[in-house]
Amino acid sequence: MKHVLFLCSGNYYRSRFAEELFNFHSEKAHLNWRALSRALAIERGSENVGSLSPFSIEALKARNIVPATLARFPLACRSEDFETADFVIAMKEAEHRPLIIERFPGWQNRVTYWHVHDIDAAGPAEAIDMIDRLVSDLIVSMTSGEN
C-alpha cells in the first residue's frame, strides 16, 4: 500500500476533507493508495471546535461519504509522516512552504503544492470544490499510472 500525505495548517478542514475524499475514491477505483492528513501548525487551530470542520462534514455528507476519521482529532505532522509518505501534498504553497522550511527543512522541494485558500481567504464552497477537482485529477492520474 502506498500513502499520500495531505498537509494544511490545522488538519481540521482542507487536509481532512482531501483525505476522506481521496480514500473514498481510491477505494472505489481499487487503487493501492491510502491517504493520511496532518497539521503543519496545529497550534493555529486552537479555536477549532470538535474533531472535524462542519464545512468538511457537510461537504462529505453531500457526496454520500461517511467520514472514517470523524472521531479523530487533528494530528500534528512529524518527520516520520514525511518519511513514510510516497507522495506529499500541501494545500497552499504560500502558506505551507514556509512552515515546511521552518519545521521540516529539506522537505520543501519534495512536496506538491496546491493553491487552496483557507477560510480566511475563500468561502468554503469554493475551497471544497477546488479540493474536489484536484483530488479527482489526482485519482485519474493514479489510475492511468502517472504517480
Tell me the CA distances in angstroms from 62 to 77, 114, 119, 129, one per residue in order: 29, 23, 19, 12
What are the grid coordinates assigned to 17, written together?
Answer: 476533507
Statement: residue 10 has pLDDT above 80: yes
- Distance, CA of 93 to CA of 115 (rounded, Å): 6
**36 or 147: which leads in pLDDT:** 36
Q: Say how many C-beta atoms besides its own lie within 10 A of residue 97's C-beta.
A: 16
pTM exceeds 0.75: yes
What are the grid coordinates assigned to 43, written together?
Answer: 497550534
Output the pLDDT for position 147.
55
Domains and CATH numbers, the chain: 6-10+17-143 (3.40.50.2300)
